[in-house]
Amino acid sequence: MSLPECDVPEVPLPDALVRDCNGLPSLSQQQVVRHYLRLSQHNYGVDSGFYPLGSCTMKYNPKISEACARLDGFAEAHPLQPEHTVQGCLSVMFQMQEMLKQIGGFAAVSLQPAAGAHGELSGLLMIRAYFKDKGEPERCHILVPDTAHGTNPASSTMAGFEVVEIPTDEKGNICLAALKAACSDKVAALMLTNPNTLGLFEQQVEDVIACVHDCGGLVYGDGANMNALTGIIRPGELGIDVMHFNLHKTFGAPHGGGGPGSGPVGAGELLRSYLPGPVVMHAPGSESRNETYSTAMPDSSIGRMAAHFGNFGVILRSFAYILLHAAEGLKHNAHHAVLNANYLKARLADDYPVPFDRICMHEFVCQGRPENTYARAFDISKRLMDFGFHPPTNYFPLIVPEALMIEPPESEGLETLDRFVEAMQAIAEEARTSPEKLTNAPVTLPIGRLDEVRAARHPILIDPASSTSS
Amino acid sequence: MTFIPHTQRERDEMLAAIGCAHIEELFADIPSSIRYPKLELPDRLSEPELARTLKELADRNQVPAPEMSFLGGGCYRHYIPATVDFVLQRAEFYTSYTPYQPELSQGMLQAMFEYQTMICQLTGMEVANASHYDGATSLAEACLLALNLNERTKIALAPGVNPRYRDVVETYLAGHHANIVTDNRQPCDQADLHDLVDEDTAALVVQTPDFFGQFEDLDGLAENVHAAGALLIVVTDPISLGLFRPPGECGADIAVLDGQSLGLPASFGGPHLGVFATRTSLMRRMVGRVVGRTSDAAGRRGYVLTLATREQHIRRERATSNICTNAALSALAASVYLATLGAQGLTKVARLCHAKAHYAADQLAQLDGCVINRHAPDKPFFKEFALSLPKPAAVVNRKLLDDYGIIGGYDLSVEGKGFDNTMLVSITELHSRAAINQLVSAVRDICA
């Protein structure tokens, strides 16, 4: 790429600090463009087709949000600018905090966490700080249901807690007896995903929360599955003390091939002062310079979770998404996501057994092993690619053998769902009559099934042909 | 506008298949007393109304042209080649998610493999992960890795580490029996750094160029740190690596940096890019997603997520980190940036930054009462320097903005430590000589 000539005098470099060669490739711009264009053609996104990846809420990402995030006024704003020069950004953040408070039923929200797991860590550190202040530092247990996302126990360890696993009962709920047995004065919190990763609403949720509160513990809400509940229920009103939202799931921000996401944390009265910061405050009175919004650390804040204000660009996209929907639209989303999941479950249950079969929320888990076959969820998934679909989540939650976790978001219509049902039925038939079609799949892509075992045993993590520095 | 395609007929057909009369019946498990709350949200906007509303909000920000802003401090306005957004706008990339299904995600996986490769070339390290949230969280995770590795209790932070990074490390360490030791004296030489390390130290963290833009002397430091049984973690600036010695050549065990300079807009602080690279010996303790090369049954080369047994979805409470969603699209931007600039392009950007920053410093040093890097005048610097003024930086900045339309340097007095009347001036390749002269003459007028 061409760069301007140097218009100032050359200065001598500190020789001892200069490197020989930075080792980067030398390519023409056309080579670069063709390379990445070709790579994009070997990738599958929501805009390519149906992407029923469970617990990930792969819904349509409005294009207007992309355009808005690229407005110079937002994209070029520097996080260290004086506050009176970034009132637009601060206004977006303040309004977003208020909207998430409304949606979640919380007293305060911090937008700083950069992803769901980052929000979990924030919430657990808040709980830790709360009990330290309260003089109960011995509360070191985090209760985690066996259906929980792996991030829940991993975040607990990172926050310095011990994980106590709670089993699931025969109806797919948290086993209340086991929960009661685990509740003690050592419990700091329960991490509750509701609906859980089986896609089921916790039927005794009020008892579950009361049980933990009665022993002096708090309840953390994993908001990964909020798409089922926006406009239907406010987790804060249910008694959740602190919860993260996944803006890239529930509120339409794109997933970016694995991120960046955004995981704002909402808290009730008990924990609001512990939120990470800075957060945005509304400060009328200094309007002379148009300074309506300012930033501040909450009183007992756990501190910064990231260098700046969080993933503003992602927050902005979700802000746009909420404005496009309003309260009624968000409720509509939940309704149709749940309608879609129950429809798919009803249509697929004959071929793919559904344990814990009751009305589900936005997703459901079935077994990727049609009756009288030896098929595996893994093979079903690979074969789905040949039918033009992205596979569901595999082998999760861990308590269902051959699990296929299927989430059809509200932006998918009946025609798409029916095509998916036909593909799944055809694959079930193949599993019965010609199982090698499954084990050989995929056969229609530029590449066949990849050897993941070899990749882990003999890791090649950078191109050996590249010359590393000097 | 909502994005729901269902017609009433379709809804009825679906409900019939489920065996339900109304959608509301599907929510019967939810406690009825709190079902369907009234949400006080703003009224729905149509797409044109939304576009106008957001344009108005964007216009409420004062964002001068890049060469009229001298703010840095860890976030920079470098030129972003047009190729970067061309690639980022490919929806096959940005509407996909973590590539758990490799055969359908070869594009992103190969791009991440190439990213890892280029990061290793740039940093001189041996392995890199496929991204973290930002530079600060990369550093915090590196500190946790060190603490878990050698079961020690101290993290030593050089005084030149970005104060925001220090804050994040402190937050992350709250759950561990560990504390941070530091030395706030300026200047701080290598002997001072070495004094921070003892038998309880898990790692020494050094930033170079440091928060004030100056290079630390790392010669022989790694040997001393290793002799004490600790790790050396180096925080650096990616543009500087186009020209200056990388952490890998200085014996670093872990290199972290914020990759925002590599093709990402400032975006009011995020999303940016956390870069994390280390040595092969620490590969299985590394945090985050990693892409590896393998092949299919026909021997065709392909790419997969690998070493997953480190990660939360497999190892749960014993994982090396909780990270799941990372900053893949930011890593893609950095890859396209590095590929577009190439070896010579990045070197040239670094040279331009260095030369222009020195020109600006020389010009400003000639003004009455102005001093460059008063705290450490002999240390070489890259693209930022501390400018001490005869007046409070806040006063100068206010006038720069109000009267000249210039956003001045970051006011260092808020960081304390003897930086009264001092601002951190940041220069990139986008600052022309004329723009620098404008700053110099404005500062002269304001301070006269």
Q: Do A102 and B43 touch (CB under 8 A)?
A: no
Quick check: A387 contacting B, CB < 8 Å?
Answer: no
Token readout for A28 is 């023409």
Residues of A in contact with B309 (CB under 8 A): 456
Q: How far apart (Å, rounded) are the C-alpha atoms in residues A82 and A77? A: 11
Chain B: residue nearest A85 by CA?
B62
pLDDT, tens only, A250-259: 999 999 999 9
SS3 label, residue B372: strand
B183: confidence class by pLDDT, cuts 50, 70, 90: confident
Q: Does domain B82-336 have CATH number 1.10.3720.10?
A: no
Quick check: A403 contacting B, CB < 8 Å?
Answer: no
Token readout for A163 is 């994980």
Token readout for B171 is 């937050």
The pLDDT of residue A467 is above 60:
no
Mean pLDDT of chain A, nearest integer: 96
Mean pLDDT of chain B, nearest integer: 96
Quick check: B317 contacting A, CB < 8 Å?
Answer: yes
pLDDT, tens only, B5-48: 999 999 999 999 999 999 999 999 999 999 999 999 999 999 99
Q: Which residue in the block uniquely carries the two structure tokens 């924990």?
A: A271
How far is it between the farthest Cα atoms of chain B?
84
SS3 label, residue A174: strand
Phi, psi values for residue B341, rounded to 5°? -75, -40
Residues of A in contact with B39 (CB under 8 A): 102-103, 231, 327, 330
pTM of the model: 0.98
Give the range among A441-445, B147-151, B303-307, B383-387 with minimum mean pLDDT: B147-151
Q: Do B127 and A462 touch (CB under 8 A)?
A: yes
A283: confidence class by pLDDT, cuts 50, 70, 90: confident
What is the model's pLDDT at position A446? 96
Phi, psi values for residue A165, rounded to 5°? -85, 135
Kindly state the average pLDDT of the residues A161-181: 98
ipTM over 0.85: yes
The pLDDT of residue B265 is above 90:
yes
Regarding predicted confidence, which is higher, B132 or B194? B132
B131 close to B331: Cβ distance less than 8 angstroms? yes
Residue type, A197: T
The pLDDT of residue A89 is above 60:
yes
What is the model's pLDDT at position B130? 97
Regarding predicted confidence, which is higher, A301 or A467? A301
Between positions 181 and 210 of B, the ones with CB within 8 A of A are none
Q: Do B312 and A154 touch (CB under 8 A)?
A: yes
| Multiple choice CATH, B343-447, 3.40.640.10, 3.90.1150.10, 1.10.645.10, 3.60.15.10 | 3.90.1150.10
A289: confidence class by pLDDT, cuts 50, 70, 90: low
Residue A107, min C-alpha distance to chain B (Å): 14
| Neighbouring C-alpha atoms within 13 Å toward the C-beta of A187 | 25
A468: confidence class by pLDDT, cuts 50, 70, 90: very low
Provide CB contacts within 8 A for B57, sequence distance 6+: A73, A74, A88, A89, A91, A92
DSSP code at position B243: T
Between positions 3 and 62 of B, the ones with CB within 8 A of A are 3-6, 10-11, 13-15, 17-20, 23, 25-31, 34-45, 47, 50-51, 53-62
DSSP code at position A206: H
Q: How far apart (Å, rounded) are the C-alpha atoms in residues A212 and A190? A: 7
- Residue A366: C-alpha distances to residues A197, A408, B19, B284, B391 (Å): 12, 14, 19, 33, 69
Q: Do B39 and A330 touch (CB under 8 A)?
A: yes
Token readout for A184 is 């003690």
Residue A51, min C-alpha distance to chain B (Å): 9
**CA A306 from chain center: how many Å?**
17
Sheet order of strands, A187-193 included: A108-110, A265-267, A242-245, A218-223, A187-193, A141-145, A162-166
Q: Do B58 and A72 touch (CB under 8 A)?
A: yes
Q: Give the end-to-end CA distance of chain A in Å, rounded to a whole number.
A: 23
Provide CB contacts within 8 A for A417, sequence distance 6+: A340, A343, A344, A347, A408
B261 close to B272: Cβ distance less than 8 angstroms? no
The minimal CB distance from A150 to the residues B62, B313, B327 is found for B313
Between positions 232 and 291 of A, the ones with CB within 8 A of B are 232-234, 237-238, 248, 254-261, 263, 276, 290
pLDDT, tens only, A227-242: 999 999 999 999 999 9
Q: Which of B345, B341, B308, B263 is nearest to B130 (CA)?
A: B308
Q: How far apart (Å, rounded) are the C-alpha atoms in residues A282 and A202? A: 37
SS3 label, residue B326: coil
pLDDT, tens only, B206-247: 999 999 999 999 999 999 999 999 999 999 999 999 999 999
Q: Which residue in the block uniquely carries the two structure tokens 């320097």?
A: B385
Q: How far apart (Å, rounded) are the C-alpha atoms in residues A351 and B214? A: 66
The pLDDT of residue A469 is above 60:
no
What is the model's pLDDT at position B188? 77
The pLDDT of residue A470 is above 50:
no
Kindly state the average pLDDT of the residues A339-363: 97
Kindly state the average pLDDT of the residues A300-325: 98
Kindly state the average pLDDT of the residues A266-283: 96
- Residue A298: C-alpha distances to residues A275, A280, B67, B132, B438 (Å): 6, 10, 35, 26, 40
Q: CATH code for A326-445? A: 3.90.1150.10
Chain B: residue nearest A153 by CA?
B317
Q: How far apart (Å, rounded) are the C-alpha atoms in residues A180 and A164? A: 12
Q: How far apart (Å, rounded) are the C-alpha atoms in residues B144 and B344? A: 36
Q: What is the β-pairing status of strands B291-295 and B301-305?
A: antiparallel
Q: How far apart (Å, rounded) are the C-alpha atoms in residues A96 and A315? A: 8
Residue type, B84: V
DSSP code at position B180: E
Residue type, A149: H
Q: CATH code for A67-323? A: 3.40.640.10
Residue A396, min C-alpha distance to chain B (Å): 9
- Residue A46: C-alpha distances to residues A61, A252, A364, A389, B406 (Å): 8, 11, 19, 10, 42
Provide CB contacts within 8 A for B438, sequence distance 6+: B68, B404, B406
Kindly state the average pLDDT of the residues A275-301: 85
Length of chain A: 470
Does residue B48 have a cis peptide bond before it, meaning omega lies within 30 degrees of 0? no
Residues of B in contact with A391 (CB under 8 A): 101, 104
Range(s) of chain A covered by CATH 3.90.1150.10: 326-445
Domain boundaries, chain B: 82-336, 343-447
Q: Do A153 and B317 touch (CB under 8 A)?
A: yes
Q: How far apart (Å, rounded) are the C-alpha atoms in residues B204 and B209? A: 16
pLDDT, tens only, A101-137: 999 999 999 999 999 999 999 999 999 999 999 999 9
Provide CB contacts within 8 A for B380, sequence distance 6+: A14, A17, B214, B215
Burial class (CB in 10 A: 0-12, 13-18, 19+), A12: exposed
DSSP-derived secondary structure for A131-153: HHHTT-TT--EEEEETTS-THHH
pLDDT, tens only, B393-440: 999 999 999 999 999 999 999 887 689 999 999 999 999 999 999 999
A390 close to A406: Cβ distance less than 8 angstroms? no
Q: Do A342 and B20 touch (CB under 8 A)?
A: yes
SS3 label, residue B97: coil
Residue type, B68: M
